[in-house]
Amino acid sequence: MKRRTRAPGSRPAGRGAGPLAGYRVVELCHHLVGPLASMYLGDFGAEVVKVETTEGDPRRYLAPTLGSTMSTQFLALNRNKSSLSLDLRSRRGRDVLHRLLATADVFISNLSGEWLAKMGLDHRSLGRRHPRLISATLTAYGTTGPQASRRGFDINLCGESGLWLQGKGGKPRSNASPVVDTAGAVMFALGVVVSLLDRERTGRTRRVETDLLSVCMALMAHRMVWMDGTPAPDLSPAVRSADAYAALYTYFETADGWLSVGAVSEGLFVRFLRALGMESIRRDRRYSTWDGVLANQGRLRRRLAPLLRAKSTDHWCRLLARHKVPAGRVLLGAEVWEHPQLRSPGALERVRHPSVGRYTAMGSPLRHGGARFGTVRAAPVLGQDTEAILRSLAFTPADIRRLLLEGSAKSSC
């Protein structure tokens, strides 16, 4: 692979640079999924240039904000990136972008297909102009089919796919975390890495696409097979919360809180009963076979509930750990940050940002060579790298002044 000229502030190739060092990714995304996907690629060592409008990614301005163009969410989604601010409505702004794309390996976008086509940034146009460039797009509902042009956020896709939570009285509730957006970012980044590998092995460039509706269904892949002549799976929250194959995959109230139990197999179920001193339950013909346990799981849970309520969560966690039954505390709010594993080195990062000061954030969940990926560069201020990137693309000082004065580009310097 031909080495690209690095944009300022990106990590160099070499020790600690990561397995994607030397690849340049151009991100033209907003909100959550696209920026998070390219952040992962930046964590892995890719040089990520975030191209923003002169107004900036809308996520910059979501409360709480830490200054005029920096929100906590933007900090969390945009580490290890440079910021190039362009007015893509102007011809000169688009010319700058295409000069950048000529040096890039990947172009990532989650903007509408209609807008990308209007700007000459759709798969076909990019393929003609930049044949080595991998074009990656993420949409809500896909690029073909009767609803391909629809827009949607995590909450809309969860509602339509059956991935919503059921609250009191059957009222739909959103998930505590944007699980579809987050999983979509992981799948999107994986698709980019696979396409890079394919290009290196075959020399062919293939486009990458994913959509959030497909991600929703992929998150329920364990339920998404049914035989000919049988009805499709019921994806309602009530059914999902009592899966037929998982009799004791549930929460129990304890004397001082809640306990999660993952006794999903017959072997784990037997160990669970042994830990509780309730092996005699197996003499009841309703629970003497695994099929019987599954068929009567609701009645079984109600029978065990008073016993679990008699003692503390810590008591049950210690006891079940000795019997090798997966179990855990249900933590609330700030209690989560007291989890001993999150207090281990590398799980949380202390980062210094040049304009907003020091902050704490989650580190990367992945390790490479035994070490966690981390923040080499905090999320950039809007247009922080505009002038330096333009210089790296061989724009003269006079060219740069003209671009800035006419508003085709914006710099924070």
Do 99 and 187 sit in the same domain of this protein? yes
Please report the pLDDT score of residue 344 as a whole number: 73
- Rounded CA gap, 320 and 350, in Å? 35
Cα 3 to Cα 255: distance, rounded to the nearest angstrom: 61
250 lies in the same domain as 161 = no
pLDDT at 162: 80
- Please report which confidence band the pLDDT of residue 243 belongs to, taking 50, 70 and 90 as the band edges: low
Distance CA 19, CA 377 (A): 17
Same domain (yes/no): 312, 170 = no
Diameter over CA atoms, the chain: 87
Per-residue burial over 347-359, b = 16 or more CB atoms within 10 Å of its CB, e = otherwise: bebebebeebeee
280 pLDDT exceeds 70?
yes
Domain boundary among 293, 310, 338: 338
CA dihedral 276, 278, 281, 283 (to 10 degrees): 140
* pLDDT for 335: 87
Asked if residue 95 has pLDDT above 50, the reply is yes
* Structural domain includes residue 223: no
Distance CA 76, CA 351 (A): 11
Q: Tell me the pLDDT tens digit for each residue of 172-208.
A: 878 778 999 999 999 999 999 999 999 999 999 999 9
Residue 49's region, left for phi above 0, alpha for psi from -120 to 50, else beta, is: beta
Q: Which residues pair with 345 in a beta bridge?
A: none
Identify the CATH number of the domain in which residue 281 sits.
3.30.1540.10
CA–CA gap between residue 66 and residue 379 (Å, rounded): 12
- 3-state percent breakdown (helix, strand, coil) of the chain, nearest 5: 40, 15, 45
Tens-place pLDDT, residues 349-390: 888 888 888 888 887 777 777 777 778 889 999 999 999 999
| In a shared domain, residues 319 and 352 | no
Helix axes of 266-276 and 313-322: crossing angle, nearest 10 degrees: 120
Residues 6+ apart with CB under 8 A from 247: 263, 264, 269, 293, 294, 297, 300
- State yes or no: pLDDT of 169 exceeds 80: no
Residues 259 and 330 sit within 8 Å (Cβ to Cβ): yes
Residue 240's pLDDT is what?
55
My answer on whether 108 and 37 are in the same domain is: yes
Identify whether 155 is part of a domain. yes
Same domain as 393, residue 311: no
Q: What is the pLDDT of residues 35-44, one digit of tens each?
A: 999 999 999 9
Segment 274-302 shows an average pLDDT of: 93
Q: Which domain holds residue 134?
A: 24-218+347-410
> What residues does 248 pair with on adjacent strands?
263
Q: What is the mean pLDDT of the segment spanning 379-406?
A: 96
- Residue 412 confidence (pLDDT) above 50: yes
Length of the chain in residues, anyone? 413
Give the confidence band of 12 by pLDDT, cuts at 50, 70, 90. Answer: very low
- Of 154 and 341, the structure prediction assigns the larger pLDDT to 154
Closest CA to 42 of 189, 179, 209: 189
202 and 277, same structural domain?
Answer: no
Same domain, yes or no: 194 and 55: yes
Rounded-to-integer distance, Cα 209 and Cα 51, Å: 20
> Does the CA dihedral 201-49-90-142 come out positive or negative?
positive
Whether residue 379 is contained in a domain is answered as: yes
Distances in whole angstroms, Cα of residue 127 to Cα of each of 102, 290, 407: 11, 56, 28
Among 313-327, 342-356, 392-406, where is mean pLDDT lowest?
342-356
Closest CA to 57 of 21, 117, 109: 109
Residue with tokens 């629809």: 150
For residues 334 and 351, state if they share a domain: no
Residue 286 lies in a domain: yes
- Decide if 263 is inside a domain: yes
Is the domain of 154 the same as that of 76? yes
Q: Helix (H, G, I), strand (E, B), or coil: what is residue 121?
A: coil
Structural domain includes residue 234: no
CB 69 within 8 A of CB 56: yes
Task: Choose the final residue of a domain: 277, 307, 338.
Answer: 338
Q: How many domains is the chain partitioned into structurally?
A: 2
Tell me whether residue 236 is in a domain.
no
Share of the chain above pLDDT 70, in %: 93
Pair 62, 203 in one domain: yes
pTM score, whole prediction: 0.86
Of the pLDDT bands very low, low, confident and very high (cuts 50, 70, 90), residue 25 is: very high
Q: Which two tokens stand for residue 398?
A: 């006079």
pLDDT of res. 349: 83
| Mean pLDDT confidence for 251-264 | 94
What gap in Å lies between CA 371 and CA 353, rounded to an integer?
A: 23
CA distance 104 to 24: 5
Say which CATH number the domain at 387 has.
Answer: 3.40.50.10540
Instruction: Indicate whether 182 belongs to any domain.
Output: yes
Mean pLDDT (the chain) is: 88
Last residue of a domain, one of 338, 358, 389: 338
Query: Angle at the Cα of 61 (from 9 to 181), degrees rounded to 5?
Result: 80
Q: How confident is the model at residue 7, as a pLDDT?
A: 46
256 within 8 A of 308, measured Cβ to Cβ: no
pLDDT band at 10 (very low <50, low <70, confident <90, very high): very low
Q: Mark whether 46 and 179 lie in a shared domain.
A: yes
